[in-house]
Amino acid sequence: MASVRIKGGPELKARLAAIVGSKLDIERAWAQDASKRIAGDAPRRTGRLAGSIHPDEAKGKAVVKGAWYGVILDRGTKAYTIEPKKAQTLRFQYRGRTVFAKKVHRRRLRRRPFITANAQAALQAAPIADQIIRAWNRKSSRGRFSRLSL
């Protein structure tokens, strides 16, 4: 059985560990940029949706969070019918009046792709390569790294 020896194995292992260790920093930078882009492009009626969009961390990952209805506006909905389950009629308030109806038809909500488009734009604009090179060049505890540049 043939064996292979790699010269500089511990240094390579340390550099790869540095890149993996900087994953959260790269994600944070993306989330910061993406949240600004998404909030700036969010549909505005009251501004509450745009004001709710912010970068955050969940389960060890950087994410962008916002109001729950942002995804509905981003992806749209299909047309659907609302019918009563237990009673014979529906009762709801509409423009200050009480309305009774046997069923209600909701038209589709058109798609307004502000989340997906801006998240992808932030990913393309993010200087991920620079951050990976910075992590690669970061000195180990032994201090034996040489510089890499593109």
Q: Return contacts of 101-110, CB within 8 angstroms, 24+ apart.
A: 105/79, 105/80, 105/81, 106/77, 106/79, 106/80, 106/81, 106/82, 107/79, 108/76, 108/77, 108/78, 108/79, 109/72, 109/73, 109/76, 109/77, 110/76
Q: What does the pLDDT read at residue 141?
A: 47
Q: What does the pLDDT read at residue 144?
A: 53
Q: What does the pLDDT read at residue 5?
A: 73
Q: What does the pLDDT read at residue 124?
A: 87
Q: What does the pLDDT read at residue 137?
A: 78
Return per-residue pLDDT of the chain as tens, 150 residues. 677 776 777 777 777 777 777 788 888 888 999 999 999 999 999 999 999 999 999 998 999 999 999 999 999 999 999 999 999 999 999 999 999 999 999 999 999 999 999 999 998 887 777 777 777 777 554 555 555 554
Q: What does the pLDDT read at residue 9?
A: 74
3-state secondary structure of 146: coil
Q: What does the pLDDT read at residue 90?
A: 95
DSSP code of residue 147: P
Per-domain residue ranges for the chain? 10-76+111-150, 77-108
